[in-house]
Amino acid sequence: MTPVKSKTKEAATVSTPREKYFEAVGRRKSAIARVRVYTKKASDLSAPTGFSAGKTDENTEELALITVNDNDYANYFHQNKKLLDIAEAPLKKLKSVNRFKASIKVLGGGLHSQAEAIRHGLSRALVMFDPNFAKKLKKSGFLTRDPREKERRKYGLKKARKAPQWAKR
């Protein structure tokens, strides 16, 4: 009998230190955001490529280190100031824009509901990091999930409440 050779090759292992993170889920309408919040180290203060850390054009505020679906969040939201403000509102409220970096996977809904889902998930993850943040974030309404959803279509109607045209005579 011949010996059987194992075909498993030893993969080259790259020792990458896994960073500690806090994960939470945020929701709004049909948008779902899975948020991972990492604390920044001294080596992370110089932003890697793909991030928009630095001064913005209009004012002296700095952008947070956030990636959404492997894109910089400013590019993901097409530089829309309103959506950027919604997404990073929890960090601005806690005055810790440069203290954390976040990696976010978001799907479903439109850009506005995705931004609000990110805000909800980011707030939850920050509370997991430090429960003392909860009071400020709850007061601002960032920890409350907005329950408003699209109303279902009813039979006999064209949409949720729109009835077909009706003629008396």
Residue carrying structure tokens 């996977």: 105
Evaluate whether residue 16 is within a structural domain. no
Within its chain, how far is the Cα of 5 from the centroid?
A: 48
- Reported as a single tens digit per residue, the pLDDT across 99-146 is 899 999 999 999 999 999 999 999 999 999 999 999 999 999 999 999
If one counts the domains in the chain, the total is: 1
Q: What is the pLDDT of residue 93?
A: 93
Give the pLDDT score at 35: 95
Looking at residue 1, its pLDDT comes to: 62
Q: Is residue 112 part of a domain?
A: yes
CATH classification of the domain holding 122: 3.30.230.10
Residue 35 lies in a domain: yes
The whole-angstrom separation of Cα 169 and Cα 150 is 34
Q: How far apart are CA 33 and CA 111, in angstroms?
A: 12
pTM score = 0.76
Residues in the chain: 169
Domain presence at residue 64: yes
Does residue 152 lie within any of the structural domains? no
Q: Identify the CA nearest to 105 among candidates 55, 71, 77, 149.
A: 71
In one letter, which amino acid is 130? D
User: Domain of 132?
Assistant: 21-140
- pLDDT, block means (10 residues), the chain with 169 residues: 60 57 95 92 50 44 81 93 94 90 94 96 95 94 95 96 94
Rounded to 5°, the CA angle 67-53-135 comes to: 70
Place of tokens 């075909």: 7
pLDDT at 8: 57
Write the DSSP symbol of residue 160.
S
- Let me know if residue 9 belongs to a domain: no
Q: Is 149 helix (H, G, I), strand (E, B) or coil?
A: coil
CB atoms within 10 A of CB 56: 14
> Is residue 8 situated within a structural domain?
no
Considering the domain boundaries, does residue 102 fall inside one? Answer: yes
pLDDT of res. 52: 45
Instruction: Answer yes or no: are the C-beta atoms of 91 and 125 closer than 8 Å.
Output: no
